[in-house]
């Protein structure tokens, strides 16, 4: 991924929580592999409506990264995009079914969409493939 200083929705950027990187090495038939996940938020357009999304970015890498930035810089395959856990379009929520998780998501997504295209506090962006 490449970090950009300017937001362009057409480039499908992500803002990430650099403190949220989780993962570990796993043995595979071809050797060891690191599987990592990092929390992210992003804006997209759906049928002409801007939506705010929350979820994760994941990747398999040959070795464990030393930092979240290194993980992102080595993450070059963006064909799957982010795994969306929740989405807010200003009227409707899509995502989790547990009330506590819905409340957590909306506490972030509502102000995020209202402050479009600003990065929410605690996130670093914008990262694109």
Q: Which two tokens stand for residue 65?
A: 């990264």
Q: What is the pLDDT of residue 108?
A: 98
Average pLDDT over residues 88-101: 98
- In tens, the pLDDT along 6-41 reads 999 999 999 999 999 999 999 888 888 999 999 999
pLDDT-derived band of residue 126, with 50, 70 and 90 as boundaries?
Answer: very high
Give the containing element (helix H, strand E) for 42.
strand 31-46
Q: What is the DSSP letter of 119?
A: P
pLDDT digits (tens, 9 = 90+) for 43-94: 999 999 999 999 999 999 999 999 999 999 999 999 989 999 999 999 999 9
Structure tokens at 66: 């030393």
Instruction: Please state, in angstroms and rounded to a whole number, the distance separating the CA atoms of residues 25 and 10.
Output: 34
Confidence at residue 30, expressed as pLDDT on a 0 to 100 scale = 82
Count of other CB atoms within 10 angstroms of residue 42: 26
């Amino acid at each position: 991924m490449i970090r950009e200083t300017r937001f362009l929705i057409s480039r499908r950027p992500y803002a990430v929580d650099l403190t949220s990187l989780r993962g570990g090495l796993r043995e595979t038939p071809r050797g060891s592999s690191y599987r990592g996940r990092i929390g992210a938020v992003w804006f997209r357009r759906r049928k002409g409506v801007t939506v705010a999304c929350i979820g994760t970015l994941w990747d398999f890498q040959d070795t464990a990264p030393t930092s979240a930035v290194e993980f992102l810089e080595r993450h070059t395959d963006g064909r799957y995009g982010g795994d969306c856990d929740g989405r807010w379009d200003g009227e409707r929520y899509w995502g989790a079914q547990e009330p506590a998780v819905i409340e957590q998501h909306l506490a972030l997504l509502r102000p995020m969409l209202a402050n479009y295209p600003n990065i929410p506090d605690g996130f670093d962006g914008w990262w694109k493939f």
